[in-house]
Structure 1
């Protein structure tokens, strides 16, 4: 077998050398027929299962004996995958943390290989039932002795190769695993491809992927956590922390039509492999992930943890059984569909009315759309942007019930919903197509990156896009050809950055989408008038700017800034837009909805007038005080209590709206200036009786009332999404005695909620004093900012000791208190140290590295992804010492295996510091001599050629 494999490999190499195989032609296509089966898929099942599956085995034969003796059968795994609606299985047994076992017979020595062909049996079982099998392969030898026993046999492999090969190094492991790829390709015709956990330099240097393309042209290649051009699929591993927690696409970065996976654990806790525990599965979280991924054309690669005998722990098996009955009634809405609101058309996904959130899928062949309400609204209706589709019918997919709906002002309202599914209420929506958009619009911009011109904005193709070339502000001009009516813009930004600001594998991420904008219009291209200013949410899918009724030839959108900050340099100012369309009218159907202002009783000087962007195309204006009012006499709710009353209002100037319920004294709320012909929501908390209520709306200023609606209050656990940035970041190590710490904080509102009575200030420990008053604002809306700077001073005559200074932002949401906070930890540095600073301190410069949590590290954080390029470094400026002389530099770090820093002091020659250790969560300390100048110095940690250890802290003595 070995000679046969060697001859086969030799033939491949000879073909490459003679030009019979052409690696240059093997670059990955974004779309290719070999991908079609995966494009039609919804999900896959990821199985981490190997020698270290509990109970751990350190002997290959004993593990195989217990696998077979326990009754392992491939059909069980295939059947469990089918219950989940999965069309493929990824088997991760040759895994760095599971013992490097190969579940197939092999004559290539180096790590565990079974005598029983477990892989072959699984491939055959999958083929019989229409489930593909993909093999996981690791690039990583660093965990070779994690259990205290060497799992890689370098001597045996060296004898096999006829040369010395150290499998515990990346180069040696690369040679070994490279040969395994060819063995698998030779022996398993029906395998569907490889799922590769990052790249090995040996593979890339020897054109492994190009050879796979030539030898197995129908096989897929998937890579973990990076978009490698030759791969078919980008897999995004275990994203968490989004809001809602199930909205996995918010943390991904891969624009369609690139194939993308969401790779996540179904068990809520525990390892990726069976660790002996029967861990819970959060049904709501995982069904939500399943649907939102389908709504973004992302495949759900769900990881389960089979035991040694192959069976799933009881709670995972129960979840699979639940999915077996939950998926089939809505199968047409999640299989063979694409995400809607993106390049395949469709209405707008995301946040809808009254706290609702969901996704939309579309069948590209029939045009039918499916509205998935995952988080139900606090009302009996769902209202979402229709994106120009004229709706003809709506049906509850699970029950078959025909639903009442109305459509106007760019919104579809599905009414009278009573049968909510606990996890996903699905409405099948038939349309008569998309209407109301101009064709032939020409675009230009004040800045473009080479190869990505503004003409791509209106070319109708989502595979071409405009790149602003990192310019901000930047203006986009749209030429309608002649003076025409314009009502709104529909904008599809490039989905190449996450909408959820997070740290992923140590790298900070943030949205590169439009935040603040201005829109102007012109007839001749020389004289411009202001149309609208505002902010767009950092959200996926089509976004809209309603502009009332404009008669213009030219529209100019000026993007003032984007959501991402400089802490995420990969995304900072990286604005990219796929398409911008200009709409001239909204589709209408079945009336405007319920509780329209024009249908209510009027008193005083109020009057109805046209408003194309309003529900029902009309609003009521003329408010001038309490006598000028609109009264709704049949506002009905099922239960008494405090409810949320949402008013859709236009406002040509800063105004005040007042609401009186059942004759009670009115409650007044400020309304910011916007347009007189484009409504925006304002909500107030009001007490309502069960049954009918009378609601009177009055106001002052240039107000217009479009409609009202009633919903429940947000739960007490809901806090609108904000970004609170507090500096300094990281533990502040200060000298003995009284000390002062300068603190700055910045609160940004990221959600489309209005918050009131906003205050931002540090909360001091006992005995400390504060210079500076709290920063306050009466109210904030989307993208609003509040900033403050203070000086906190410790008590005189004592050391700081160990304290934490919270910085709290407090505000009200519909009259209810909410709070978010950050912390500045302060510690007295040890007596034998003249300087201490955390690696994650905001005073440092991080380049392309990033922060990550580390529970055992000082300050519970560290900096990772150091090394591999000149930019992947950490620089400590202002390292201050009292005199010029030699010091001891203590470096606190974590590392798994041998790696090096190159340490540069004040721009001098780099000094290599070789380090070694076991486990990336175990801090070690190294000591080197350095010579420093009196005052401020600069120390840089990097390794331009290879990965370096993670850095926790430095100190000087």
Structure 2
């Protein structure tokens, strides 16, 4: 290795780095995840797995501490802050002990933070920002080493908050004198040089530190090979990067993800596949800042424990942020949570530490949504012989039922109590029965297994595909490894064909999709994200691979993490073709749209079964009455391996359950698991009441599907009779009865309205064409669906409401209308609701989006928001901005040719020169480049402080009559954030 630069000396010439910093763009070059004993030191720049990471891989959690000179009460003088820290009794041991209560193996100390005064809690010889005389960092490292808690130091790349309070916190003259040259620390380049020197000072003085947690990148660091030099000087230290997957880093940290259902399931928003080390970085106080702002903000125990468990269930590390006060102590609510965790975690520690997430590359049963409202995750010991089922949201009944992923279960016990649990296996499910004791936050069952006996060996399979991206062939689907994957090359529909080698039995496919996208549409730091997973699909089988006939299964897969299953009944074929028709991501997230990636597809030919005890309310139970032609029928994918068929033609052919017992009278949720090859209907009568007719979707006569309705039942025993008025009714696998979901429950939907964003209307009567799409994202069916605008007084609507009798997972409802404002007057400020109403289990619900219309100022001939859906954003993204027009703006413009905002259909009545007004926010000095109709760009240079105050600049532009295109970009460096554009003559 060449000589290493020391603080105060010029850096060596830069060495070229691989093009691109995103993991997904160079993942073919990374080191595969192998046991640590088999990995030698890999080249810097490609270290997904390395022995130095082992301690973190075995960890569950870390403690993130934001603390510094601007911790409340804020200090604007470094010496006064240090005096109050010491006088208040600050203790390194206190922090280490509190971390251990949380089960944290490491502490990330964030004092050199842009919003905390760039404080350095160590004696520094490098002037430039606050530095203490007392070696607080050294004391913390020493205390952590004594109690096996590692310390990682936070470093920021961002100088923009240097004078947030009106007092300069960065001392450019002092650092310039130290360097012997003029350096402005308030610029990214100058701050990069200063912080670069600090990295080396810390590495030299604190060899027992565990690494650096780096809040994004600085161009100066990258240009001068900072990370490579850290690797050379401190090869055992870890590097973590926030919100970006930089290949040389050991860890990717995902900051404060929200918006998922349930709210605690943090991994739904993650976008980095295993075996990459991933942190979930979140606040424990549910309100307030990342640092102590003077308030004792509450800690939501339910949310925080749920995050802790679900992160472990996805092999993610919970980096929990607490807010120490000036004296280092935590506010009382945080201390109470830490004390609670010190008692709550130990009984289930074996299921959280030293385990991996189940349902992914390490094996294990399927996590996610289970029966009767239950939700949870699975953790596994290496080899997956021992698995832990974590029920984070308990079901509304006394049992838990989840897909077993082909594992033969030998025993189940409650991990906390040691109680042996009754269980049954059939139809691909494990059901744990008779659960009487539920933990308030996580009921954990220890499940012993004896392998997956009904899967074909991957080495016996071959795969081909209708398309594949170079470097990711179809063969990667069956190579037994999760580090390689097939990529569909942005083609939809696309198909993959599995060759079993000879004609064999097949019952289902286990599909492991690449976990590189969130499970739902969201915006993260101004960039649109969405799920790249399979939505609509068809499955065909063939004896020779030339003709395929009709599909044996058609349906939609849920957008969810972990292994997903496609049941196909009992098929006998050599070839199986999975045709993917659509994926969940929409075009608003171009990074994920049509980007299908699959790690592995496995083929099963049967299910593990247990003889006793049977699952309650099986159709074949001896206590049921079967009238007329109703009879037992073998169904290997059904629960208990049997169903009742022969329903049809009315009440003479019926199945009656005689002992459906509930504790309380009232309406209950009745779930019917049924099979049918074609669409039909089922009639349900409870206690002899008039029957309710239920539509049944047809797909495969050997694969159970579920339909749920609300039925009134009395306390105690009830009878439930099932029959069909159709010529041929469905087969009945089983029923399940439980309480209705809470009144607040609404199945998850996605509703979009276009145009989106504030609409600026000119003078006089106006007509606006609006379209809407409703998509069902949940397993529960919705009924009596209706979608239409709600016209305001004086407005007219051209176009009818669109309706659907029922909607199932992944189905959409679409319509367009023309809305016309009152005649003879200008448009006022109005919000027009677009409403979708529907029923779930007999309960009404609705989803509403607003079309926001405002009058355009009289001196403007055109005005449009940057976030308007008619614009093209490239890789830029929309983010909230409360002071901005319309409450949003577009950020992440510039830095490359793909990050821009393009306004199409900018219409003017006459050709000529116009004034283009650009509303923006910015921190520092930045520029837009503006191109009209593809012409020579004009630079619009602007300056500002804080990036949260909208400002306006203007330039002249020449437009042609009719429609024009205006594009704002900056190919070289970051541009300001854009609020809106307007034109004046």
Q: What TM-score do you get using the length of structure 1 for normalisation?
A: 0.98
Instruction: Specify which of 313, 327, 337 is matched with residue 345 of structure 2.
Output: 327
Deviates more, 1:212-221 or 1:830-839: 830-839
Alignment of 1:76-87 (within 5 A): 76-87=94-105
Change (3 A) 1:713 1:394: same
| Deviation digits for residues 695-749 of structure 1 (CA, Å, limit 9, x no counterpart) | 1111233410001111111112111111111000011101111111111000111
Query: 1: distance between equivalents of 2:87 and 2:678?
Result: 78
Distance in 1 (alpha carbons) for counterparts of 2:269 and 2:492 = 24
Partner of 1:413 in structure 2? 431
State the 1:687 CA deviation: 1.1
| Distance in structure 1 (CA, Å) of the matches to 2:337 and 2:64 | 15
Partner-residue secondary structure (3-state), 1:274: coil
Distance (Å, rounded) in 2 between the aligned partners of 1:448 and 1:319: 50
Q: Identify if the C-alpha distance between structure 1 residues 841 and 14 changes in structure 2 by more than 3 Å, giving closer, same or farther.
A: closer
Counterpart among 530, 537, 543 of residue 523 in structure 1: 543
Q: Name the residue aligned to 2:665.
A: 640
Change (3 A) 1:16 1:569: closer
Rate the CA distance shift 1:578–1:16 in 2: closer, same or farther, 3 A: closer
Match of 2:463 in 1: 443
Report if the CA contact (8 A) 2:761-2:856 is conserved.
yes
In structure 2, distance between residues paired with 1:724 and 1:614: 35
1:543 correspondence with 2:564: yes
Is 1:767 the equivalent of 2:787? no
Matched, 1:838 2:865: yes
Q: Distance in 1 between matches of 2:11 and 2:859?
A: 63
- Residues 464 and 9 of structure 1: CA distance in aligned 2, closer, same or farther (over 3 Å): farther
C-alpha distance in structure 2 between counterparts of 1:879 and 1:80, whole Å: 59
How far 1:7 moved relative to its partner? 5.6
Q: State how 1:240-259 maps to structure 2 within 5 Å.
A: 240-259=258-277
Cα distance in structure 1, aligned partners of 2:231 and 2:461: 41
1:167 is aligned to 2:194: no
Aligned to 1:345: 363
- Give me the whole-angstrom Cα distance separating, in 1, the residues matched to 2:4 and 2:112: 20
Partner of 1:821: 848
Partner of 2:982: 955
Runs of 4 or more consecutive aligned structure 1 residues displaced over 4 Å after TM superposition? 4-17
Partner Cα separation in structure 1 for residue 408 and residue 759 of structure 2: 59
- Kindly indicate whether residue 108 of structure 2 is the aligned counterpart of residue 97 of structure 1: no
Q: Name the CA distance, whole Å, in 2 between partners of 1:606 and 1:518.
A: 31
> Residues 7 and 140 of structure 1: is their aligned pair in 2 closer, same or farther, counting only changes over 3 Å?
closer
The alignment's C-alpha RMSD in Å is 1.7
Matched, 1:606 2:630: yes
Following superposition, the deviation at residue 578 of structure 1 comes to 0.6
Deviations 1:808-835 (A, max 9, x none): 1110001100111111100111111111
1:110 is matched with which residue?
128
Contact 1:849 1:864 survives alignment (8 Å):
yes
Using the TM superposition, give the Cα deviation of residue 13 of structure 1 relative to its aligned residue in structure 2, in angstroms.
5.4
- Measured in 1, the distance between the counterparts of 2:597 and 2:4 equals 47
Per-residue CA deviation, residues 655-707 of structure 1 (Å, 9 max, x unaligned), is 11111111111111100111111110111101111111111111233410001
Where do residues 69-468 of structure 1 align in structure 2 (5 Å cutoff)?
A: 69-364=87-382, 367-439=385-457, 440-468=460-488
Name the structure 2 match of 1:663: 688
Provide Cα deviations, 1:295-340, integer angstroms capped at 9, x if missing partner: 0000000111111111111111111111111111111111110000
Q: Distance in 2 between matches of 1:192 and 1:34?
A: 10
The answer to whether the 8 A contact 2:92-2:140 is kept is yes
Cα pair 2:386 2:448 within 8 Å, conserved: yes
Stretch moving more, 833-842 or 524-533: 524-533
SS of structure 2 residue aligned to 1:552? strand
Task: Look up the SS of the partner of 2:413 in the other structure.
Answer: strand
2:617 counterpart of 1:617: no
Give the superposition deviation at 1:5.
10
8 Å CA contact retained: 1:808, 1:820:
yes
Counterpart in 1 of 2:723? 698
Asked if 2 retains the 8 angstrom alpha-carbon contact of 1:646 and 1:684, the reply is yes
* Contact 2:257/2:266, CA 8 A, preserved across alignment: yes
2:837 to 795, 805, 810: 810
For residues 24 and 585 of structure 1, the distance between their equivalents in structure 2, rounded to whole angstroms, comes to 42
Residues 453-491 of structure 1: CA distance to partner in whole angstroms, max 9, x if unpaired?
111111111111111111111111111111111110000
CA distance in 2, matches of 1:748, 1:885: 44
For 1:518 and 1:105, locate their aligned partners in 2 and report how far apart those are by CA, in whole Å. 65
Residue 8 of structure 2 contacts residue 178 of structure 2 at CA under 8 Å; is this kept in 1?
Answer: no
Asked if 1 retains the 8 angstrom alpha-carbon contact of 2:644 and 2:731, the reply is: yes
| 1:61 aligned counterpart, secondary structure | helix
Q: How many residues align?
A: 950
Mean Cα deviation higher: 596-605 or 189-198: 596-605
Aligned residue for 1:696, secondary structure, equals strand
TM-score by length of 2: 0.95
Q: Distance in 1 between matches of 2:916 and 2:74?
A: 41
In the alignment, does 2:635 pair up with 1:596? no
**SS of equivalent residue, structure 2 residue 100:** helix
* Matches of 1:190 and 1:776, distance apart in 2: 66
Aligned partners of 2:13 and 2:224 also within 8 Å: no
SS in 2 for 1:296: coil
Q: CA offset at residue 24 of structure 1?
A: 9.4
Matched residues in 1 for 2:5 and 2:667: separation?
A: 76
Q: 8 Å contact 1:652–1:702 — kept in the other structure?
A: no
Distance, in Å, in 1 between the alignment partners of 2:982 and 2:112 is: 41
Mapped partners of 1:666, 1:400: distance in 2: 45
Distance 1:7 1:338, change over 3 A: closer
Distance 2:143 2:236 in 1: 19
Report the Cα distance in structure 2 between the residues aligned to 1:52 and 1:122, rounded to whole angstroms: 20
Gaps of 5+ in 1: none
Which residue in the other structure is 2:554 paired with?
A: 533
Please identify, of 363-372 and 220-229, the stretch whose mean Cα deviation from structure 2 is larger: 363-372
Question: Does the 8 A contact of 2:676 with 2:701 survive in 1?
Answer: yes
